[in-house]
Each structure stands twice: as C-alpha cells, then as structure tokens.
C-alpha cells in the first residue's frame, strides 16, 4: 500500500507531511531513529475499510445458519462467553468455515494480482490460465483412480495445480517469460485440461461422479480445522514472500527494459513470484475447490478503488497503480465471505455452493471488463 514520493521532495525529520504525486497523495513520516515510512493515503483508507468489511462479513457469516445468532452473541462466543451450545456452534462448526473462506479469498486475491502483473493483462488470472483446471484434474484422478479420502483429494489438487504451473511455465519460456505468450499458453492448457476433466468424469461411477461434481463446484460447506491449519501455514509463508517482492512487481508493470534499468533481476523475480503464486492457488483450491472468478475480480476491484475519480471509467490509457497485493488479498476475502453469506441468506444454509454465486457474478464482471477493454482499444 505504499507509494513513491517524487524525487527531490524532502521530508522533515520527526514530522509527517502529505505530498501530491500527480493525482495521488502520500504521507511520508520519518521517525527520530531515521526510519522513513511512506503511506498512500487513499490506499491505506481503502485497506482499513476492506479489513473492517471482511471482519463484519465474517461475524455475519458465523451468525448465519439453521441456528441464527446475533453479532453480539457471536462476539461473546468468540471471546469465551455464551453457553456451551453457542461455543460448540461457533468454534467447532462455523469458525473453521469462515477462516477457510478468508484464507482462500486472500490466497486467490494475492495470486490473481501476481498473475495479472506478470502477464500485464487484466485477464491473466488462474481461472483463465488453467491452474484451477489442473487442480481439478489432480483431484478427480485421486477420486476416480484411488478412491482417495479428503486428504488424498487435497493432495491430488495441489499436485495437479503445481504440475500445471510448471508445465505452463516451461512451455511459455523462451529467453524469459513474456506476458502474452504466458496467457496464450495458459489458455491452451486450460482447454486441454478441461477435456481431461470431462474424460475423468466419464470414467467415474455415479458415486464418484457426484463427489467430483460437488468438489468442482467450489464450496465452503463442511470445512473444518483440518483445512484451516495447512492453508494458514501456506499463506503465512507465501503471502509475506510475495509482499516482499511488491516493489519489483510494480517495476515489472513498466516493462522488462525499464525494470532492468532500475536494477530488477526480471527473470529471477518472475520465476519466484510465479512459483509462489502457483503454490498459493493450488493450496487454496485444495481447501475449497476451484472457486471461480475471485482471483480475476479482486485485483481489478482493488485497483479501481485506489484510482482517482477521474480515472475510474477504465477508458483510454489510464495509469494503474501497482499490484496492490495487500488490497487484492483483502478484497478477495471480502468477496468470498460476502458471497458465502449472500448464498446462505438468499437460498438457505448450505443450499447453494459459493462457487456457483461467484461464477455468476464473476462471469458478468468478465463480460463488462472485456467490453471496457475493447472500448479502450486494448483488445
């Protein structure tokens, strides 16, 4: 969420000063110890707002279900209050589901921002590039050929996603990775992997096909602490790693030549962030299934919220701020938890998997994005 102050602007010691960089405002603060911190005012405000909305949606989701609870009762149970029944419902049944939703949303949002930045294409999303289909092939293979349990299905999904990522990376490599080649190879791989999914479905019996269809829809139903712990461990390692590469990623958006001139080792940065993003997507897909369009929409919505009002229409050659990994992760968490809450409120508890709702809304957003890009002359 940081931004760059114009060169030549001095910041006084011990004080915070607000500067305008074009249409964006940053606050630069220098402590007495010489530590300098620069904050984008708008991005910080949007980040705090998204965090508050995500937490509020999480509380509302915990309180939804066959046994509804008020926000006060949910907060009391989370802090050790309430009766034994409320404690069991919150801690054992609903809290793991909400935590999986938050973590999956963060993972999809951050990884989507990485893919779109590296490909320099708003359509460069795991949904479009075949990573979700690769995880689906791995999970279906575990179900059809090995009758695997939940852990085996998750392991198959991770193996399929990582294997797909490595294959796309190698096929797209030619003296480095270039955005359009990466996207085109990913789209081709997606089509081939979808054909493999259909083949595996024809090989499955009725029980296996039903189980596979349920998994492929993408759902938070029945999630427990067994899914929370490994996903939290993956996010705890890979999300900070990707945030560490936030500055080089912003430079990559200016092009390889400009990034190299600024001292960025382009190929090394691209390899590291892509591998980390692939593993992050695979882990999230293993935990909740291939929930569609969150990775596509979250980074775009986060970027638009941080744009000045006059640049939000999407037309022309409006400059986009950096990858905004933190905001993209928070937006992903908001979208997924809010969609799960909406599906329960509109259709009843566990009647509509969240992947169906995100697919409908995300498909509409994709059509709007394509129309906007076409109007701007970029597709």
Q: What percent of the chain has pLDDT over 90?
A: 28
Are the C-beta atoms of 366 and 340 separated by less than 8 Å? no
DSSP 8-state symbol, 8: T
pLDDT, tens digit (0-9, with 9 covering 90-100), for 189-223:
999 999 999 999 988 888 888 888 888 888 888 88
Residue 34: pLDDT above 60?
no
Residue 22: pLDDT above 60?
no
Are the C-beta atoms of 311 and 356 separated by less than 8 Å? no
Mean pLDDT of 285-297: 89
Lowest mean pLDDT among 235-249, 258-272, 329-343: 258-272
Instruction: Specify the CATH architecture of the domain 48-375.
Output: Orthogonal Bundle (1.10)
Kindly tell me the burial class for residue 361, based on how many C-beta atoms sit within 10 Å of its own C-beta (0-12, 13-18, 19 or more). middle
Cα(306)–Cα(42) distance, integer angstroms: 6
Task: Give me the DSSP letters along 164-225.
Answer: HHHHHHHHH-SSS--HHHHHHHHHHHHHHHHHHHHHHHHHS-HHHHHHHHHHHH---TT--H
pLDDT, tens digit (0-9, with 9 covering 90-100), for 127-146:
888 888 898 899 999 988 88
Domain limits, the chain? 48-375
Within 13 Å and on the Cβ side, how many CA atoms surround 198? Answer: 6
DSSP 8-state symbol, 310: G
DSSP 8-state symbol, 5: P
Mean pLDDT estimate for the chain = 81
Mean pLDDT of 93-107: 94
Cα(332)–Cα(168) distance, integer angstroms: 24
Cα(354)–Cα(104) distance, integer angstroms: 12
Helix (H) or strand (E) holding 38, with range, is strand 36-40
Cα(375)–Cα(316) distance, integer angstroms: 8
Residue 336: pLDDT above 90?
yes
Q: Residue 27 has what pLDDT? A: 65
Q: What percent of the chain has pLDDT over 70?
A: 82
For residue 240, the Cα-to-chain-centroid distance in whole angstroms is 14
Nearest Cα to Cα of residue 304 among 118, 119, 113 = 113
Residue 9 CB neighbours (<10 A): 11
- The residues, ordered by sequence, that sit 6+ positions from 373 with a Cβ below 8 Å of its Cβ are 122, 314, 379
């Amino acid at each position: 969420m940081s931004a760059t102050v114009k060169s030549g602007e001095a910041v006084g010691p011990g004080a915070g000063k607000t500067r305008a960089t074009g249409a964006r405002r940053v606050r630069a603060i220098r402590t007495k110890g010489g530590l300098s911190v620069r904050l984008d005012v708008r991005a910080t405000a949007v980040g705090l707002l998204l965090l508050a909305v995500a937490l509020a949606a999480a509380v509302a989701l915990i309180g939804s279900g066959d046994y509804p609870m008020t926000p006060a009762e949910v907060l009391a149970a989370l802090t050790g209050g309430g009766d034994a029944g409320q404690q069991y419902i919150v801690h054992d049944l609903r809290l793991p589901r909400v935590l999986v939703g938050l973590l999956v949303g963060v993972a999809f949002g951050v990884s989507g921002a990485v893919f779109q930045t590296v490909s320099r294409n708003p359509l460069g999303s795991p949904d479009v590039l075949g990573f979700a289909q690769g995880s689906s092939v791995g999970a279906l293979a575990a179900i059809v050929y090995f009758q695997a349990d939940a852990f085996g299905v998750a392991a198959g999904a991770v193996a399929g996603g990582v294997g797909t990522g490595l294959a796309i990376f190698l096929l797209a490599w030619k003296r480095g990775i270039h955005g359009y080649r990466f996207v085109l190879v990913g789209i081709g791989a997606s089509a081939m992997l979808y054909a493999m999914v259909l083949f595996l479905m024809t090989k499955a019996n009725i029980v296996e096909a039903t189980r596979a269809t349920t998994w492929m829809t993408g759902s938070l139903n029945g999630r427990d602490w067994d899914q929370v712990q490994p996903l939290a461990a993956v996010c705890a390692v890979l999300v900070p790693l990707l945030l560490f590469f936030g500055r080089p990623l912003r430079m990559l958006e200016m092009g390889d030549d400009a990034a190299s001139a600024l001292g960025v080792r382009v190929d090394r940065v691209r390899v590291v962030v892509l591998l980390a993003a692939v593993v992050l997507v695979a882990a999230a897909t293993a935990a909740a299934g291939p929930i569609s369009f969150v990775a596509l929409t979250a980074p775009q919505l986060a970027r638009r919220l941080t744009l000045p009002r006059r640049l939000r229409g999407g037309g022309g050659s409006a400059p986009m701020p950096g990858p905004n990994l933190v905001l993209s992760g928070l937006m992903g968490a908001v979208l997924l938890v809010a969609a799960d809450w909406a599906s329960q409120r509109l259709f009843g508890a566990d009647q509509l998997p969240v992947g169906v709702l995100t697919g409908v809304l995300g498909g509409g957003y994709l059509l709007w994005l394509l129309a906007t890009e076409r109007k701007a002359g970029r597709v």
